[in-house]
Amino acid sequence: MNCPVCKTTELTQINLEAKLPANGCGQCGGKWLSSFRYYEWLQYHGSTLPEKPYEGPPLAVAEREDAKLCPECRRILVRYAVGHGTNLTLDHCGSCNGVWLDTNEWEALKGRNLHDEIHLIFTRDWQTQVRKEERKKHLDAIYAQHFGKDYEEIKRVRQWLDQHPERGRIVAFLTDSDPFSA
């Protein structure tokens, strides 16, 4: 199998983890993970670890823009966003279900305990959540720009209001142009 990034470099057998063989490129540092090997490892690995924030040094992830071909079946790999506070994308083969991991992507996933959920990243539910996160981040930036320095206070008041048992009456009071007229 040849590297989908370097094109001519032959992939060699490596181990991502104990009992998780993969194929790696000595030139670009990418890794090919077959779905069969990954699912075998998941059975060995046990229960899914809870997600956590990454606490190590920042990892330089080599994100490639050009299309890649699956090293196993030569189909085009489709890029999926990982989300969950990362800016990673993984390349997935819809035919053989293998995954291409660019340099340091495995380490970044492992640092967040997402390495045992790779198979879920390509599902509709996961991708719906990723799009929801992206929309929230986009709207947050718009509100921050619009409200400026008041935005943090507005968010604090909103959180207080959302938890208040008299929320409806308070909103009515605040939105009434003259709450003291009869």
In tens, the pLDDT along 74-122 reads: 999 999 999 988 889 999 999 999 999 999 999 999 989 999 999 999 9
Tokens representing 26?
């000595």
Q: Is the pLDDT of residue 71 over 70?
A: yes
- In terms of DSSP bridges, do strands 20-24 and 31-33 run parallel, antiparallel, or are they unpaired? antiparallel
Q: DSSP assignment of 34-65, as one string?
A: -HHHHHHHHHHH-SPPPP----SSPP------
User: Which pTM does this prediction carry?
Assistant: 0.78
Rounded Cα distance between 130 and 120, Å, is 12
62 neighbors 56 (Cβ within 8 angstroms): no
